[in-house]
Amino acid sequence: MTKTWMSRERWDALVRGEDCLLCEVAATLTAPDAEDDYGFTIAEMSAGILRLQKNQYVAGYTTLISKRHVCEIYEFTPAERVEFFADLARASHAITQAYDALKINLSILGNSTPHLHAHIIPRYYGDPSPDAPIDPWTEKRYLADYTEPLRLIRAALAQIP
Ligand SMILES: [Zn+2]
């Protein structure tokens, strides 16, 4: 976690979509299993790309990245809002089922990458932060193989309308 904001010039450029990492992801990593340093694509959904994070400190931690570069939810068209939040609901349901999660926490932050994306963070009974958010970056925990988590989430997703 960084303690200072990036330069204002850099921030303004990112908000405009210049040199935006998530625009790149949305344009190039739509295929199942597409990989970058941060994760693997689970599925291309209606308005977002669903990705499993490589850091699985919280098992099942995924992100839903808007296909279109917007910074805030109010920049979506009404139709995009419906689609994005429907994607988010389906993804949350699938992850709950695939991981037997107790609860799903959602966070839309974007203070370092101002391209709309939601963090989907499953919560488990007995986890170390019952009355507060859990930081999925508390530790880095990488898996030897992501095949099974990807398969489980896709199988659950396929059952959810
Ligand atoms: Zn972008």
| pTM for the full predicted model | 0.96
Residues with CB in 5 Å of ion ligand 1:
17, 20, 22-23, 69, 115
What is the average per-residue pLDDT within 2-27? 95
pLDDT tens readout for residues 69-98 = 999 999 999 999 999 999 999 999 999 999
Strand, coil or helix: 132: coil
Expressed in angstroms and rounded, the spacing between residue 15 Cα and the centre of ligand 1 is 8
Residues 6+ apart with CB under 8 A from 109: 119
What's the CA gap between 99 and 156, in Å, rounded? 10
Tokens of 25: 């992801």
